């Protein structure tokens, strides 16, 4: 089951899944709103009868600026999607997992929660909040056989990281090439992260090969973060 605000993104992802010979059910969802998330959970149970894995992958980049230039509206919007959305999804899907005494939750965080990036205070704070959420929740649901983990990617190849690098260049007053060089130079591998590497980490944590792993924050950052 796929859920997102963007119909275009859902359509593209559904087509990608079906091209692999799999089936995909799409449910337009706004994770900022409880009613929308409740509808998602109801449809999942109605269609599948059970939920084994919940992957919280929704998120927005938020503003890039010094903290004193960030408006309360931008701050609240970043947390509404990146943190409250995860809370609402976990809250909606956990009852069925608790009833079955089985399940797995994977939360997509970010290395930015642990490694400072200039002008990214709202995003960084929201992603670090997810680590605290996951570790506390792991203790709460562990007795029911449910695992909770975080995947914290580094700079993942694609439009979002290019936007971040561009904003970094503007905020610091440097060239785009220099901003990109500064970003990748903090990695021992000197590169961005292929999106498939992040997906593979999430699949591993959701699999039976990770049955003894919970409350962990797995870095997929090409070495940009090692703690």
Catalytic residue positions, numbered: 123
Which of helix, strand or coil describes residue 102? Answer: coil
- Give the pairing type, strands 103-108 and 146-153: parallel
Quote the CA–CA distance of 80 and 46 in Å, as a whole number: 27
Among the listed residues 210, 222, 219, 223, the one whose alpha carbon sits nearest the alpha carbon of residue 105: 210
Tokens of 226: 């090692």
Contact 45, 51 (CB under 8 A): yes
Q: In what order do the strands lie in the sheet with 217-220?
A: 53-56, 103-108, 146-153, 217-220
Phi-psi region of 198 (alpha: psi -120 to 50; beta: other; left: phi over 0): alpha
Beta bridge partners of 219: 152
- Please identify which residue in the block is written with the tokens 């809250």: 91
Contact 171, 183 (CB under 8 A): no
Q: Cβ of 53: how many Cβ atoms within 10 Å?
A: 16
- Please identify which residue in the block is written with the tokens 């960030």: 70
């Amino acid at each position: 089951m796929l859920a997102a605000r963007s119909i275009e993104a859902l359509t593209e992802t559904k087509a990608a899944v079906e091209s692999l010979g799999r089936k995909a059910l799409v449910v337009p969802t706004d994770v900022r709103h409880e009613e929308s998330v409740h509808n998602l959970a109801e449809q999942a149970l109605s269609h599948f009868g059970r939920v084994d894995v919940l992957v919280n992958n929704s998120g927005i980049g938020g503003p890039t600026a010094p903290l004193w230039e960030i408006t309360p509206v931008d701050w609240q919007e970043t947390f509404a999607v990146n943190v409250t959305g995860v809370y609402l999804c976990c809250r909606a899907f956990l009852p069925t997992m608790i009833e079955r005494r089985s399940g797995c939750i994977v939360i997509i965080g970010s290395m930015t929660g642990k490694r400072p990036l200039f002008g990214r205070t709202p995003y960084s704070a929201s992603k670090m909040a997810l680590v605290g959420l996951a570790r506390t929740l792991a203790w709460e649901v562990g007795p029911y056989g449910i695992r909770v983990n975080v995947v914290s990617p580094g700079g993942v190849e694609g439009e979002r990281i290019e936007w971040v690098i561009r904003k970094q260049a503007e905020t610091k007053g440097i060239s785009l090439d220099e901003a990109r060089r500064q970003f990748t130079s903090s990695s021992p591998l000197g590169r961005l992260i292929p999106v498939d590497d992040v997906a593979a980490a999430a699949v591993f944590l959701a699999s039976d090969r990770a049955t003894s792993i919970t409350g962990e924050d797995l870095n997929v950052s090409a070495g940009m973060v090692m703690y």
